Chains A and B, each alone.
Chain A
Amino acid sequence: MSDHLENTYVWDPVVRVLHWALVISFATAWGLGKFGPNQMTLHFYAGYTVAGIVVLRVLWGLFGFHTAKFVNFVRGPKQVISYAKTLPLKEPSRSFGHNPVGALFVVGVLVVLAMQIASGLLADPEDYINVGPLAQYVSASTARKALSLHEPLSTLLLLMVVAHIGAIFWYKKRKGENLVKPMVTGYADLPQSKTAGE
């Protein structure tokens, strides 16, 4: 593998805008849910925004740009394990797009977000002002189940965010790789060999 690095286009604008829009809307929804006013109108709007982002990201994962498509980055257990073995190494991964372990996170966070959105839409806290818009179409026990999932899922999502940020620090400190910059500019320094086979 040559060490010659080229400024390579990795993340298309849709992926980048959706990523940072998710950061803002998720933080807003989470913060308002935990610490916001008892009349949760803004939490609902933030949640709808998250829902829109998740739907668009899934569509983009099916029909979008190369690195955005699930088929191009979701990998089987063999590749996940072999990539995971390189995680402790003190050298950059130089991945073109999501690596096989990161792919697990992408799919995982989309699934948990979808569950969180569904539980919010179906939840009925019986305060007659913060009722999920779809709660009226399900049984009271389903609406209670949704309500009881909504908070634990928010904790799980927080842990996932912490893990995500932790991974970014790990890549920066241990592997000397800046993952934030490409998510802003769209470009990463990659060797030709990484992209040629794609």
Chain B
Amino acid sequence: MRKLLISTVIAATAATGAFAQSPSDTAKARRAFFTLVGFEMSTLGGMAQGKIDYDAELASQTAQDLMTLGGYTITDLFAPGTSNDDLMGETRAEAAIWEDMDGFQEKGMAFYEAVVALNEVAGDGLDALRPAVGQLGGTCKACHDDYRASDF
């Protein structure tokens, strides 16, 4: 009986272990993740718009970093109970994400595919980079339009 009790406690701990982070922590980590995506994106956007001089190596490296971020499993960053309805002022992630996970994942997939396409051309000169960045930025917008509030 005691053994059963202990193992139940252990099992319960293991089961809740995945939810040890508070919803606020999750939202904070999520914003940190997208801050990184935005940081890399601002370099590429700057190059595409001529605000930063094109540099094949920097462009390739930045595209590679986005690829790394694109490989990150974001499921835990979008744990249930972390929408802007749950955490007012802490996140702009709308409840629509959890209501329409398929649609949301489709947007994520479009982003990933655009990152893959970008990686193929990032080092091939500004004329090759520009449309790929435009395509990628478009996938940011498409998701923001449907799933992110414009303000906190």
Interface residues of A (CB under 8 A from B): 37-40, 125-131, 144-145, 147-148, 150-151
Contact = CB atoms under 8 A, between A and B. Distances in A.
B33 to A, nearest CB: 13
Interface of B: prevailing SS? helix
Interface of B: 38, 41-42, 44-45, 48, 133-135, 137-142, 144, 149-152
Contacts, number: 53
B140 A127 contact: yes
A144 B139 contact: no
Given A38-B141, A39-B134, A39-B138, A128 B41 contact: yes
B24 to A, nearest CB: 20
Interface of A: prevailing SS? loop
A150 B144 CA distance: 14
B151 A126 contact: no
B133 A145 contact: no
Given A127-B140, A127-B141, 14 more contacts: A38-B137, A39-B134, A125-B141, A126-B140, A127-B137, A128-B41, A128-B140, A129-B133, A129-B134, A129-B137, A129-B141, A147-B150, A147-B151, A151-B150
24 contacts: A37-B138, A38-B138, A38-B139, A38-B141, A38-B142, A39-B135, A40-B141, A125-B141, A126-B140, A127-B137, A127-B138, A128-B140, A129-B134, A129-B138, A129-B140, A130-B137, A130-B141, A131-B45, A144-B151, A145-B151, A147-B150, A148-B149, A148-B150, A150-B150
A183 B122 CA distance: 52
Nearest to A128: B45
B108 to A, nearest CB: 15
Contacts of B149: 148
A150 B151 CA distance: 11
Contacts of A129: 45, 48, 133-134, 137-138, 140-141
